[in-house]
Structure 1
């Protein structure tokens, strides 16, 4: 079995993070995998995007991805490649469907259903307007908050400092730049906003291939800072004490709907995220991704396990497991 170098570090080139090796028709294998700091397994956005790259390779370029529905079943290790099996479920005149099963060590760790549509640009259109927000040039990188912790003259918990240092180092090597764009209230919900863009995005001669690859990059980005909004809405934190201490945060499912084929992930995209409901050990987040000029290009949704560090009736700590 092929083994990957278990560095657990995000690659600086987005093209490397998304790259898969074609083994034969409908069968692909990851070439790099990484685990974010303090995470349970391989970054979900990387699995989503590699699965999408694999599915796209099995579709006529005349069809464009319009939706992707994913389930995370098991945590994946970065030490062993993931093999992506693509099933050509349906080839219709207007829509094409591909199912992807991601397998590692003989176990299915992830499944996705991808639907592709023959574009219909003349149909009527509507979108929710982009919120009023400062431009990316006026916003701080997300790591600035943690850099301030590291430079603070005030005594800070050593665990927080250790995490801050790891996070800053991770962010500086990431192929994705992220800026905090603030928190607003929409219909009574706290809505978190971030600017994202990919660095060193490769270019393609074919417009269809270019658009398809941009969607693969966006799918990678879509899992960043997403479920954490539900955790924040619940007031949970890994470094808190008692019932406010976070015990588990992991994704169950993830969905993306695309409504534009002309965006560029090499330019800033605004990610608007809110939590309509959380409880019972789960939480759901909804997201909207806009170009900096205000075009809504994708709508996202994700549900995950969000558990607090609680005591059971006997007074012992409840074990967090799936």
Structure 2
């Protein structure tokens, strides 16, 4: 008989309508009867279409959620350093094991390992600090948030749902700073082989507003907002490298499984749609493709052959001084890419302009290599 799998260890309970969607997504079940430091995902985890495994932000956030339940309430997370070891399988439960590394008066350290079928798929070390341990007199400074258009809750056309209509958070994109628009580039050169307008990709800044949908419950406390922030921090993160280079995420008309990535009927409809409709369906991976479909041009851009996260670091600056269900501004830049890898840095601000987190991620970014012509 074929081996049956299930996405959760225990049958999930009904969704709690008093909580935000992201709280339900990140809910954990504590396996107290086995070990109080063991946890498992209560609900199935999201597997992005075409991705190699589950959404990394979910594992990051659930590791944080598990660790937060093992420290005193007056301790707050200030840093977490994570490594993606193996692709997570959405059809198999994840077991989270929290190790108490240090119990200090001002700092506490936890290591969490996420396992599937006995193998580690993810590991992270987190440091927590006791409130007020920094003293009354402190050294203080913070980067300023750049001036950008404020997110608009009433502008439905600009709202994006990165994980679909039932996804736990939403976003609004802002134009990339120091980047020429697709239309401007095509006007300068109809030759799509030079459509990358960036002699200096490291100077570009990709920007967006994000927030958890609904209202995070008072019951969740500051821990729920921190876990939600960790979850959203992985949104379009390593993909920044592809965006600043204007690379194809996958070749137009073809997905990883060999099936068309854009249905032929959809392609025909795109040709007939007006500018506003096209704007709503445009994403970083298909914006140039859509433009070229309308111009009847053939794609000759480099294509991403593999792009996966290797590690993920978050420094939390104001762990109890923000709401994840209010708009948060994120700005990302890639200072370096090479040798099949790329590094991206991210800053996260409240809408009032207060820096609340700094994140760093390195990932594999390999181009699909051209097929050598036979002589």
Give the distance between the partners of 1:242 and 1:84, measured in 2 at CA.
Answer: 44
Determine if contact 1:252/1:305 at 8 Å carries over to the other structure: yes
TM value normalised by structure 1: 0.82
Determine if contact 1:201/1:265 at 8 Å carries over to the other structure: no
What does 1:158-169 correspond to in 2, within 5 Å?
A: none
Query: 1:19 maps to which residue?
Result: 27
C-alpha displacement of 1:3: 1.6
Query: 1:244 maps to which residue?
Result: 302
Give the paired residue count: 283
Task: Return the index of the structure with the highest Cα Rg.
Answer: 2
1:195 and 2:198 matched? no
SS across alignment from 1:264: coil
What does 1:158-307 correspond to in 2, within 5 Å?
A: 170-185=163-178, 189-204=203-218, 210-237=221-248, 238-239=250-251, 244-260=302-318, 261-307=320-366
Query: 1:52 maps to which residue?
Result: 64
Query: 1:79 maps to which residue?
Result: 91
TM value normalised by structure 2: 0.70
1:100 and 2:112 matched? yes
Determine if contact 2:238/2:343 at 8 Å carries over to the other structure: yes
Give the distance between the partners of 1:271 and 1:169, measured in 2 at CA.
Answer: 15
The superposition leaves residues 219-251 of structure 1 with CA deviations (integer Å, 9 ceiling, x where unpaired) of: 000000111111122332112656611111110
Determine if contact 1:242/1:310 at 8 Å carries over to the other structure: no
Give the distance between the partners of 2:178 and 2:241, measured in 1 at CA.
Answer: 15
C-alpha displacement of 1:13: 1.3
Query: 1:3 maps to which residue?
Result: 6
1:115 and 2:108 matched? no
C-alpha displacement of 1:170: 4.1
Determine if contact 2:61/2:228 at 8 Å carries over to the other structure: yes
The RMSD of aligned alpha carbons is 2.4
